Structure 1
């Protein structure tokens, strides 16, 4: 089972077993990871699941689609490695992916 590692702004790490085919956001919500609110339920209609993807993983993800890029304009402090966790599908290729929750969301 692939793992997703969530890092809080204070540096705390939570490693979660995630079922392939689910999203990074769904796993955060199911496991009460603080800072991932997901107000729209994963419809890519808000930016409350914004995360920073560790640089080691950004190339392994597909490029964000236009809708996600538009929503990232509403995220707190977006960076080049910003993604909406509702748009990151868990699979074996990203086993161990590490995402950091922005300080403003914590």
Structure 2
């Protein structure tokens, strides 16, 4: 269970950092740029902790997949960046992949 908390914290940190990139306006605004750097540092730290129990490829797939899904949603809601149908289908496939990994993979830390 602790491993999944670390993975969750890695995902949240990465989402905050990625969202702050837009707010940093190409790193011309100090505090959003600091959030980017600190957020990614935390994300990689927590991701490294998950690797004690979960294989690298599996942890990275869940981390990056969840990040894509949530950042796309944030972009749609806060920045009015609406994904088109191929993007929605692709995100649906990512969600399906994460579900398959977590239910069926023996390498996912169960």
What is the TM-score of this pair, normalised by structure 1?
A: 0.28
Larger of the two Rg values belongs to structure: 2
Per residue, is there more helix in 1 or in 2? 2
Identify the structure with bigger relative contact order (alpha carbons < 8 Å, sequence gap 6+): 1
TM value normalised by structure 2: 0.27
**Larger % of strand: which?**
1
